[in-house]
Amino acid sequence: MKITVTVNGTEHSPDVEPRLLLVDFLRSTLKLTGTHIGCDTTSCGVCTVLVDGTPVKSCTYFAVQANGRSITTVEGLKQNGQLAPIQEAFKEHHGLQCGFCTPAMMLVGSALIEENPNPSEDDVRWAISGNLCRCTGYMNIVKSIQAAAETTRQGASS
């Protein structure tokens, strides 16, 4: 099937098998390997990308469902050579260890900040509760997302 999908600002019009999963389209077809596969069953969240700004687990979402939509992956966070506040915050607050859940965590964090510029700790924990991490115990992920929210607020007000 022919679809048109915008990924990180670039439009693509591939011919895809109807059963091709979005995660495989991103990883294998577009070679955007920052989106990972962890469970195949929508449980762990490492495959999360933003579809029109909303976090979606791309391992149980067909590429054809993305037709006409705009996708953001981790590779799209950096703009004009500048790391996004969420990326800076994860590095500064030690929000990652093995790095496998990190792209998805950052995308979910940025979607949250977009919707709620001043999230409480509980807000953050609830927002990322569809994303597992085995390394960090979530402590520094929460801290990173809250710090990114603060930077974003300061950026918006200055």
CB-nearer residue toward other proteins: 1 or 139: 139
Asked whether position 85 contacts other proteins by CB under 8 A, the answer is no
Report how many residues bind other proteins under the rule CB under 8 A: 56
Dist CA 83 CA 76 (whole Å): 10
**Using CB under 8 A, which of 99, 118, 120, 154 touches other proteins?**
99
What minimum distance in Å lies between the beta carbon of 143 and other proteins?
10
* 104, 130, 132 from 44: Cα distances, Å: 10, 7, 5
Single residue of 83, 115, 117, 120 touching other proteins by CB under 8 A: 83
Does residue 56 bind other proteins (CB under 8 A)?
no
SS3 call for 43: coil
* 126 is a contact residue toward other proteins (CB under 8 A): yes
CA distance 104 to 106: 5
Do 126 and 138 form a contact (C-beta atoms < 8 A)?
no
Calculate helix-pair angle for 102-115, 85-92, nearest 10 degrees. 120
Give residues in contact with other proteins (CB under 8 A). Answer: 17, 19, 24, 27, 31-41, 43-44, 46, 73-75, 77-78, 83, 87, 90-92, 94, 96-103, 106, 124-126, 128-142
